[in-house]
Chains A and B, each alone.
Chain A
Amino acid sequence: MEEQKKLTGHEPYQPTTLGIDSRKLGIWVFLASEAVFFSGLIATYLIVTVRSTQGPYPNEVLSLPLVSVNTFVLIASSLAMVIALSNAEENKIHRTVIWLIVTAVLGLVFLGGQVYEFIHLFHNGLTLDQNLFGASFYTLTGTHGLHVLSGIIWIILVIFQLLKFRGDASQAAMKVELTGLYWHFVDLIWIIIFTVVYLLYT
């Protein structure tokens, strides 16, 4: 009887028949589906916000200075992430970990800013069930915030993996690259949300 080889979970990843890494292909398919998902939320926001029949309205409660600073923080976190990837590609694991920590901290600062904004809006009478603007605003920005939180958790997991990592440098770089793709996508979506939610209506 042929003996079955037990899988350890550390087998090398096989290329697809297209000659590209199956993990990267997977993450790009996921990001494409996420783009459609966020488009649905953005479309909903555009449609229902202008139909709010009672206040508060976007131009009455949204704070552009706070969100502009938050936008800079997220853009800076993307820079930290690509620097982490550059270091990972050069097999500088410790530097990679440091830049990943910087990325996660900037992500947390962004989330802190968002929580502060939500509290400020809540005190100004904008709740989830106050009007159509409130419902669509919290759904869109809250969903994005949850994505940032997921990204931070992912980064922390990769940091722990890298600290224990003793394998091939290209595999470490791939872990960082996949995390980075997700993180940059979250940044890209925020660029659109910043324009649609905060700049067009304030």
Chain B
Amino acid sequence: MAVVYKKDEKAAKKRPNYVLVFIALAVLTVIEVAVVQFPLPRAPILIALSIIKAALVALFYMHLRSDSRIFSALFGLGIILGIAMVISFVLLINTPFGNDH
């Protein structure tokens, strides 16, 4: 007998508008490419836009918004560890100790 999960059934009934999410992702990508063409503070804008895009994919396409919070916690832990790794590596290498120049 197949195991049926109530949360899955509920999520299937209340589907987000996937096309709208796609349009948002496409528009944000166009904005990202446009930002590069103008003399704007590139890094903060681009990082913010990519975080929004990644969040849209995770929340709506990967269904973290409606699925069990355990999945969000697990994936969030991986993301936090990853971000911590990137920040610590970049900071470490730019200290007098890590800088070989």
Binding site for B on A (CB under 8 A): 12-15, 18-21, 24-25, 28-29, 31-36, 38-40, 42-44, 46-47, 64, 68, 71-72, 75-76, 78-79, 81-83, 86, 89, 167-168, 170-171, 173, 180-181, 184-185, 187-188, 191-192, 194-195, 199-200, 202
Known: A40-B85, A46-B89, A195-B46. 9 other contacts (CB 8 A): A14-B3, A28-B75, A35-B75, A43-B89, A46-B86, A78-B22, A168-B2, A188-B58, A191-B57
Of the residues A24, A47, A191, contact of B53 by C-beta under 8 Å: A191
Are A68 and B33 neighbours in the complex by a CB distance under 8 Å?
yes
The A interface is mostly helix, strand or loop, or mixed, namely helix
Contact (A199, B86) CB under 8 Å given A76-B22, A171-B2, A191-B53? no
In the assembled complex, the CB of B36 is this many whole angstroms from the nearest CB of chain A, namely: 6
Considering only CB atoms, which chain B residue lies closest to A68 in the complex? Answer: B33
**Which residue of A35, A173, A199 contacts B82 across the interface (Cβ within 8 Å)?**
A35
Distance, CA A170 to CA B11, complexed state (A): 13
Cα A75 to Cα B32 with chains together (Å): 14
Distance in Å from the Cβ of B11 to the closest Cβ of chain A? 9
Q: Is the CB of A170 within 8 A of B86?
A: no
Chain A residues with CB under 8 Å of B85's CB are: 36, 39-40, 43
The residues of B with any CB-CB pair to A shorter than 8 Å are 1-5, 7-8, 12, 15, 18-19, 21-22, 25-26, 29, 32-33, 35-36, 42-43, 46-47, 49-50, 53-54, 57-58, 61-62, 67-68, 70-71, 74-75, 77-79, 81-83, 85-86, 89-90, 93
Q: Verify A28–B81 contact, CB threshold 8 A.
A: no
Asked if A47 contacts B58 (CB within 8 A), the reply is no
Identify which of B4, B22, B36, B89 contacts A47 (C-beta below 8 A).
B89
Whether the Cβ atoms of A15 and B3 lie closer than 8 Å is yes
Complex: how many Å from CA A82 to CA B77? 25
A residues in contact with B67, CB < 8 Å: 24
- Out of B1, B62, B86, name the residue touching A39 (CB < 8 Å): B86
Residue of A nearest to B16 (CB): A82
**Closest 10 pairs (CB-CB, A-B):** A32-B78, A39-B82, A35-B78, A195-B50, A43-B89, A168-B2, A79-B22, A43-B86, A89-B12, A184-B61
CB distance from A176 to the nearest CB of B (A): 12
- Within the complex, the shortest CB–CB distance from A64 to chain B, in Å, comes to 7
Q: Out of A20, A33, A83, which one reaches B70, CB within 8 Å?
A: A20
In the assembled complex, how far is the CB of residue A186 from the closest CB belonging to chain B, in whole angstroms? 10
Q: Which residues of B are found within 8 Å of A81, using beta-carbon distances?
A: 61
| Contact across chains for A18 and B70 when beta carbons are under 8 A apart | yes
Query: Within 8 Å CB of B2, what residues of A?
Result: 12, 167-168, 170-171
